[in-house]
Amino acid sequence: MIAKKIRAVSTAFVFGTAAMAVATMPADAAMRSVVGKPLQEALSLDKSGNFAAACTQVKKAEAAGSLTAEESKGTNQMKEYVASASKGAACADGAIGAQAKFNADWNARKYRDVIADEEMLRKYNVFNATSQVVIAQAYEQLGDYKGCISYANAHASAGADMLKRGGLCAYKSGDDVMALDLALKLVAVSPSPENWSQLLSQAERAKGLSDAQTLDIYRLKLLTGNMKGADDYFTLAQLLLAAKLPHEAASVVEKGQAAKLLVDARAQRLVGLVKQNQASDVAGLAKAQADAQKAKTGDDLVKIGEDLTGMGKFADAATAIQAGIAKGVKDADNAQVRLALAQYGAKQKPQALNSLEKAKASKNGTTIAKAWAAYIRGH
């Protein structure tokens, strides 16, 4: 006589907390013997570890034909149960079996099989962001960092975990260019301080950074919560003073004091120096603007605009920088970044992003522009 029910069985998957369960089998009245008996036998064989024979019995039940809704449900549940218990070795012709095989291959460190399983996962519609990240990890475990990077780049839509994995592989392979590119994509989808720290650390490693680009990296450190103690505040303030931007330096010092980091005698000397430079800058601003207007190139006008941005005079800053760009400048990328930040300060976000798109003259200049674009899009 067919047992009235098969007890529910659940098996947790390795990845995540999802679980498969075989629901109770319907009573005898709802299932014909030609279907119920093979399924009962399949359960017994499965429990003894004879998964191939268990699957044969499931297929025997399927072959009975003209299955009722209850019979189809019970047959499918038993097939899933066998596939799960066998870790995909038997009855794997379904979503749960495919997932079970994929998990089993990973646990057995069969990394090439994990990669090959993608086709199977796609076939049964269980190819998702989690499985994509696992496949990237399989490339990494094989030491195929180029494969890992390529896969991560091609499946960047899988999200932050995929981009982190690709970035790690790029770092391990010494591919700083790709590591930086993936870090930029990462902050675009997950702009956490940690991810910004990774990006800015990669940017700092670039060769041939100009003083203006180094200054922008520190500005972004400040804005993204990545200032590491008093020394970073001192460094940024001193860089700004060296660039003749005392008003922006004053803002940095204020933030350092608010964070209770700039409190010692050295900090007090810095405060005094900043105030002295501010006074000199205000006194000489009119003459500096007039001289910049007369200059043959627009570099001085861009510098004036950067100073005005630090004062919070964003509209005037944008006007000055645009006039400078029209005259022609030595560092076109920096001029576009300066214009973008003035426009952003003036609440002209679309215009700012458009200006950053024009920073294409150098690799480092483009990187800085992309970093600023990621920040502006998120704020």
pLDDT of 198-242, one tens digit each? 999 999 989 999 999 999 999 999 999 999 999 999 999 999 999
Cα(156)–Cα(127) distance, integer angstroms: 14
SS3 call for 124: coil
The answer to whether 82 and 90 have CB atoms below 8 angstroms apart is yes
**Range picked from 18-27, 90-99, 273-282 for highest mean pLDDT:** 273-282
* Domain parsing of the chain, residue ranges: 9-93, 101-189, 193-377
Q: What is the pLDDT of residues 122-174, one digit of tens each?
A: 998 989 999 999 999 999 999 999 999 999 999 999 999 999 999 999 999 99
Q: Does domain 193-377 have CATH number 2.40.50.100?
A: no
* Mean pLDDT, rounded, for 345-357: 98
The answer to whether 134 and 101 have CB atoms below 8 angstroms apart is no
Residue 13: per-residue pLDDT: 31
CB-based contacts of 278, cutoff 8 Å, min separation 6:
246, 247, 250
Q: What is the pLDDT of residues 65-123, one digit of tens each?
A: 778 888 878 777 787 777 767 666 677 677 777 888 898 899 889 999 999 999 999 99
Residue 88: per-residue pLDDT: 65
Residue 20 has pLDDT above 50, yes or no: no
Residue 35: per-residue pLDDT: 78
pLDDT averaged over every residue in the chain = 87
Residue 268: per-residue pLDDT: 94
Residue 89: per-residue pLDDT: 66
Confidence grade of residue 33 (pLDDT, cut at 50, 70, 90): confident
Residue 31 has pLDDT above 70, yes or no: yes
Cα 116–chain centre separation: 25
Residue 278: per-residue pLDDT: 96
Which tokens go with 181?
A: 């590119």
* Mean pLDDT, rounded, for 325-335: 97
SS3 call for 71: helix
The answer to whether 42 and 54 have CB atoms below 8 angstroms apart is yes
DSSP character string of 221-279: HHHTT---SHHHHHHHHHHHHHTT-HHHHHHHHHHHHHTT-S-SHHHHHHHHHHHHHHH
Residue 197: per-residue pLDDT: 96
Which tokens go with 129?
A: 């962001």
Spelled out in words, what is the top-level CATH class assigned to the domain 101-189? mainly alpha
Residue 5 has pLDDT above 80, yes or no: no
Confidence grade of residue 27 (pLDDT, cut at 50, 70, 90): very low
Residue 16 has pLDDT above 50, yes or no: no
Cα(11)–Cα(142) distance, integer angstroms: 28
Residue 319 has pLDDT above 80, yes or no: yes
Residue 92: per-residue pLDDT: 66
Residue 17: per-residue pLDDT: 29
SS3 call for 64: coil
